[in-house]
Amino acid sequence: MQAQRDWEHGFSLVFSQLSGLTGGAESTKRTLSQMRGMFRDAEAVSAILRGGDPLIYEFYELGAPETPGDLAFGTSICYPGKVGDEYFMTKGHFHTLLDCAEVYHTLSGQGLLLMENPEGDVQSQVLRPGAAVYVPPRYAHRSVNTGTTPLVTFFVFRADAGHDYATIEPKGFRKLALERDGQLVLRDNPLWA
Ligand code: NI
């Protein structure tokens, strides 16, 4: 249940830089079992799930009215960790209205924003505290936590843009964010070969 807000009047909210929390809001949570097919190492997924079902990420939405003139905003928190050698990440999505852009401003943590368009152009931008990343229209986007603390980002986009997760789900993004000798590397996703 989201806290009710009056979107016809101005309001002010304080987001926690470290946790993304806003007073009274409930987050939407994504655990590993809800993302089974999204990490490439199925054995590593199963091994982790035998010991529990870790929270991979969560996000706070504020229930903005889905009208063209409104802006939806909130925070996303991707936790540190890996599945095999693949960093914890969000599911990622296109906007249902493909032409709608988005901004991600990092409040804390370290990571990467992976982006790709339907034609296969791939881009990435580093997420670091203070940096605002512009996701252009038509680009799917996914946050990857490459650090050791929660990656907390503030996002804002056109409120009626919608989320299309289904296009990403069968094959994932074209690039995988992996750790090699303690460093982030991007590798081609074999499902796109
Ligand atoms: Ni988005």
- Residues around the ion ligand 1 (C-beta < 5 A): 102
Distance (angstroms) between ligand 1 centre and the Cα of 165 equals: 10
Distance (angstroms) between ligand 1 centre and the Cα of 51 equals: 32
- Please list, in sequence order, all residues whose beta carbon lies within 8 angstroms of the beta carbon of residue 8, skipping any fewer than 6 positions away: none
Distance (angstroms) between ligand 1 centre and the Cα of 98 equals: 10
**pLDDT by 10s per residue, the chain, length 193:** 445 678 889 988 889 988 888 777 789 999 999 999 999 999 999 999 999 999 999 999 888 999 999 999 999 999 999 999 999 999 999 999 999 999 999 999 999 999 999 999 999 999 999 999 999 999 999 999 999 999 999 999 999 999 999 999 999 999 999 999 999 999 999 999 9
pLDDT for 23 equals: 73
pLDDT for 2 equals: 47
Alpha-carbon span 192 to 174, nearest angstrom = 6
Distance (angstroms) between ligand 1 centre and the Cα of 185 equals: 24
pLDDT for 155 equals: 97
DSSP 36: G
Residues linked to residue 89 through DSSP beta bridges, in sequence order: 144
pLDDT for 74 equals: 94
Distance (angstroms) between ligand 1 centre and the Cα of 66 equals: 14
pLDDT for 63 equals: 86
pLDDT for 4 equals: 63
Per-residue HEC secondary structure of 161-176 comes to CCEECCCCCCCCCCEE
